Chain A
Amino acid sequence: MPFEIPFVQIVWWAMTACAIGGAIGVVSSNNLFHSALFLVLSLFGVAGYYVLLSAGFLAVVQLMVYIGAIVILVLFAIMFSRRMMKPTEDEMNRQWLVSVIVAAALFSWLIVVVNSVSWPVTSAAPTADTVLQLGLAFLGSYLIPFLVVGVLLSAALIGAIFLAREKVEAEEI
């Protein structure tokens, strides 16, 4: 298969263009609605990364939870407040230049660290039937974290409903 390796790299570059380009769009767009749509692009690129890393289940979860739920929630919150829909004066605050410097310094520092460590890479293939292994792990040795996440999600759901509902005035009760 002489064409296999270049093809995977081409897909990788396409997904990188989606992920990084979408991320830059998220932080640079003056319209919040466009930012949320760029976020969909970026999350889609990351889902493609999961497919390339042979984590197909995570890719599906990424599409369903992130794009299907979180971004929809963000879009609803933006549409809910009409003034956020139209592009306002300037979405950046006064410290945006400092933020650029901080982000660039962080990035260069991370690159230096990443390239100075020799990671213990193996060329082994992942376990066959990863989804089965995930299910067994979640109901076996990772049962407690699984339950804690469930409790956290319920608490977050109840808290979000409590925070976002219309307040009933005391005299009306």
Chain B
Amino acid sequence: MLPIPLSWWLTVSAALFSIGVFGALSRRNAIGILMGIELVLNAVNVNLVAFWRYVIPANVEGQIFALIVISVAAAEAAVGLAIVIAVYRRRHSAAVEELDILKH
């Protein structure tokens, strides 16, 4: 039997996910929100790899999903930070509560 039960991985992943959700919800700065989302994606990856190792270790699908998630996270970070830089250049602030020009 594997030395670490599957539920430990799932518990840690749930904790990472919840912390990331808290960060994404509570930050004022857009970069802080992006970092919270990175934590959420990491929790997802831990889940994917843990299920791969404990349920279907004969295939490599779990690792493929995790790799694709990492690629999408890289794309998301690049575009998100570019938007933050563009907004900061124009408004001299990255606080999301001040970005309400679409409401007016």
Contacts and interface: CB of A to CB of B under 8 A. Distances in A.
Given A5-B3, A73-B81, A111-B14, A20 B60 contact: no
Contact of A123 (B1, B15, B61, B76): B1
Contact of A27 (B26, B31, B73, B76): B26
Interface string B2-33: 11101111111011111111110111110110
Contacts, number: 241
B74 interface: yes
Size bracket of the A interface: 35 or more
A55 to B, nearest CB: 5
Main secondary structure of the interface of B (DSSP, over half): helix
Contact of B28 (A91, A115, A153): A91
Nearest to A80: B85
A14 interface: no
A73 B79 CA distance: 11
Given A26-B36, A93-B27, A77 B60 contact: no
Interface string B51-66: 1111101111101101
Given A12-B4, A32-B31, A93-B27, A149 B68 contact: yes
A105 to B, nearest CB: 9
Given A39-B38, A99-B25, A73 B77 contact: yes
Interface residues of B, number: 76
B32 A43 contact: no
A81 B94 contact: yes
B3 to A, nearest CB: 4
Contacts of A107: 14-15, 17-18
Given A93-B27, A95-B25, 16 more contacts: A20-B15, A23-B16, A23-B19, A26-B35, A35-B32, A46-B42, A50-B49, A77-B84, A106-B17, A119-B6, A119-B51, A119-B55, A123-B1, A152-B71, A156-B76, A159-B82
5 contacts: A9-B4, A19-B12, A114-B14, A122-B55, A122-B57
- The 5 closest A-B CB pairs, nearest first, are A156-B75, A27-B23, A103-B22, A110-B14, A99-B25
Interface of A: 4-5, 8-9, 12, 16, 19-20, 23-24, 26-27, 32, 35-36, 39, 42-43, 46, 49-50, 52-55, 57-58, 61-62, 65-66, 69-70, 73-74, 76-78, 80-81, 83-84, 90-93, 95-96, 98-100, 102-104, 106-107, 110-111, 114-115, 119-127, 130, 133-134, 137-138, 142, 145, 149, 152-153, 155-157, 159-164, 166
